Amino acid sequence: MLPLAPAIGLMLVFLAGPILYCIYAAFTNMALTGTGAANVQFVGLDNFRKAFGSSAFTNSIWLTLVFTLLSAIIGQNTLGLGLALLMRRSSKLIRNFVGTAVIGAWVLPEVVAAYLLSAFFNDEGTLNVILHKVGLPGQDWLYAAPIIAVSLANIWRGTAFSMLVYSAALSEVPKEIEESAEMDGAAGYKRLVFVTLPMISRAIFTNLMLITLQTLSVFGLIYAMTRGGPGTKSQTLPLYMYEQAFSFSQIGYGTAIALVMLLIGAVFSLIYLRGLNQEAA
Amino acid sequence: MIARDRVSKLTANLILAAIGVLFVLPLLWVLFASVNRTAGLRVELPTSPTFENFRAVLNTDTTYRPVLNGIVLCGGAALLTMVCAVLAAYPLSRFKTKFNRPFLLTVLFCTGLPITAVMVPVYGLFVQLNLVDTLGGTIMFMATASLPFAIWLTKTFMDGVPISLEEAAWVDGAGNMQALYRIVLPLMWPGIAVVLIFTFIGMWGNFFVPFMLLLSPERLPASVSIFTFFGQYGEPNYGQLAAYSLIYTFPVLVLYLLLSRKLGGAFTMGGAIKG
């Protein structure tokens, strides 16, 4: 068991340590400046009471839900599945072109992707040029609909992952089964819903869990695009936590929010583990 | 039947091409803007392409040092991750003990935890341990953050190496570490390369961790120093920003191509994750 020591050591100090520290600090008034800096005191559930009573916190919870639902569960997942399905019957040239473009967006570093899409959604950006060409009014999307813009950005950046997972899963569905379903008269969407999708249900489940967990903790993309603004219109939970802990120096309150995020992540992670276990059994 | 097939193939191609164009447009912007001295925010073909923007950003402060910092930071952390992951994966893959299953479940559980949420307490911990603004501390944290996934993947790859060869080596008197080093690792180098490259790519793009843990401008990696383009001088120079973005993206692009050409990387990954 000795070879496990370095990994366990690192994980104890830099992963378990912070989590325990988080559980401790979340119940204190710890701060970077002021009273909480000099003399840290236990304040019980005050931080949580403050959070759930604050409109900024509930706002960020809502935005996180909208962001996750729009960009991960609806956007990346559906688009990724759609791409994987369409690619099976497209010509090789188109398949390579689309695959390269989608994966290209995925390989880009987070902040670079954020800048490309800021330019795209800007008042003078490419999206508005296209909209004007077809006679639709344009606007500064980052200002008018920031949460939609960052959600679309996350779809652009993250779809490749779902596409790859679904391509791999679909390549393992035996052709004969789909063909015989077609013989029996199951056409188009029926074949998809009753034959193909059930056969890759495990991949769908895994993918949904993983992209949800990734999307819950997106920070750099939103921070570089809007800084959570204008106002707090795109301030998801990670950005709110960052603002409270560092701009306002309230470490105790910030860690309380971190603990809420960790709990949400832990719940999803457990559901994911259970699902894997049941499939295996 | 055949006519319908052809129609459905045509529709599939058309829809795919349209989606592909939407994905390509933002990418085209960075390519065109980087060689356009008067680049704006929209995709436009530069009238007189120039390498002026690249020349302007290729200096120590803007490019060389941040990229070098990034290589030290991400390279060091990826290597540390890999060494720990290989060492940890070996007993997990080779010896069946009661300890394996709970440990692997914990590892899998950790891969799901949002690292973003841990950053505030990590910062607190770093203040107490006096590790804020040190490359060593940041490397160790980055390595730890990617360790759970790396252990999981490495173990999956290691399971694919048949144990019979090691048994022969054991009979000949080789120790475990010797068997790992001389037999298992050479047989699974494609797997090692996949884990190493993916870990590195993930770290190279990571913004939040170095943004929180490093402070001095001379230690910042490329992912954070890109913010200096939006300094106090108002409107950034988009052409230079685009040129810098390309330079910063180049290493991961090369690594990714290497991965997908030589190792069938993306699909291996898809398969391993679907797992």
Mutation for A interface: B118, B134, B181, B226, most A CBs within 10 A = B118
Confidence (pLDDT) at B267: 47
Partner-chain contact A219 B252, CB within 8 Å = no
Of the candidates B116, B147, B205, which has its C-beta nearest A7's C-beta? B147
B211-238: buried (b, 16+ CB within 10 Å) or exposed (e) per residue?
bbbbeeeebbbbbbbbebbeeeeeeebb
CB atoms within 10 A of CB B264: 13
The DSSP string of B168-200 is HHHHTT--HHHHIIIIIHHHTHHHHHHHHHHHH
Helix H or strand E encompassing B217: none
Residues 8-47 (A) with a CB less than 8 A from some CB of B: 8, 10-11, 13-15, 17-19, 21-22, 25, 30
What integer best gives the mean pLDDT of chain A?
87
The stretch A265-281 carries a mean pLDDT of 76
The stretch A240-252 carries a mean pLDDT of 87
Q: Which residues of A touch B23 (CB under 8 A)?
A: 98, 101-102, 104-105, 156
CB atoms within 10 A of CB B45: 9
Confidence (pLDDT) at A150: 95
pTM of the model as a whole? 0.88
pLDDT reading at A141 higher than 90: no
State pLDDT tens for residues B84-110: 999 999 999 888 888 888 888 888 888
Of the candidates A3, A207, A273, which has its C-beta nearest B88's C-beta? A3
Confidence (pLDDT) at B272: 52
Confidence (pLDDT) at B135: 93
The stretch A14-26 carries a mean pLDDT of 90
User: B193 to chain A nearest CA, in Å?
Assistant: 17
B17 by DSSP, 3-state: which? helix
Residues 51-110 (A) with a CB less than 8 A from some CB of B: 79, 83, 86-87, 89-91, 94-95, 97-98, 101-105, 107-110
State pLDDT tens for residues B206-255: 989 999 999 888 899 988 888 777 655 566 788 888 899 999 999 988 88
Confidence (pLDDT) at B168: 85
A119 within 8 A of A140, measured Cβ to Cβ:
no
A122 within 8 A of A140, measured Cβ to Cβ:
yes
Mutation for B interface: A2, A10, A209, most B CBs within 10 A = A10
Distance CA A245, CA B66 (A): 27
Confidence (pLDDT) at A259: 92
Match domain A65-251 to its CATH number in 1.10.10.10, 3.90.1860.10, 2.60.120.10, 1.10.3720.10: 1.10.3720.10
Helical H runs in chain A?
A: 5-11, 17-25, 35-38, 46-53, 55-67, 77-88, 92-107, 110-121, 126-133, 141-144, 146-170, 175-183, 188-191, 197-199, 201-216, 220-226, 237-242, 251-280
All domains in chain B, ordered by first residue: 1-50 (no CATH), 57-274 (1.10.3720.10)
Residues of chain B with pLDDT under 70: 1-2, 4, 230-235, 262-275
A204 and B CB contact within 8 Å: no
pLDDT reading at A97 higher than 50: yes
Which residues on adjacent β-strands are paired with residue A42? A28
A173 and B CB contact within 8 Å: no
The stretch A120-141 carries a mean pLDDT of 85
The stretch A40-62 carries a mean pLDDT of 90
pLDDT reading at A138 higher than 90: no
For chain A, how many residues are written?
281
A224 within 8 A of A115, measured Cβ to Cβ:
yes
Mutation for A interface: B120, B142, B245, most A CBs within 10 A = B120
Distance CA B237, CA B223 (A): 18
The DSSP string of A152-196 is HHHHHHHHHHHHHHHHHHHTTS-HHHHHHHHHTT--HHHHIIIII
The stretch A225-241 carries a mean pLDDT of 89
Partner-chain contact A255 B253, CB within 8 Å = no
Residue ranges of domains in chain A: 65-251
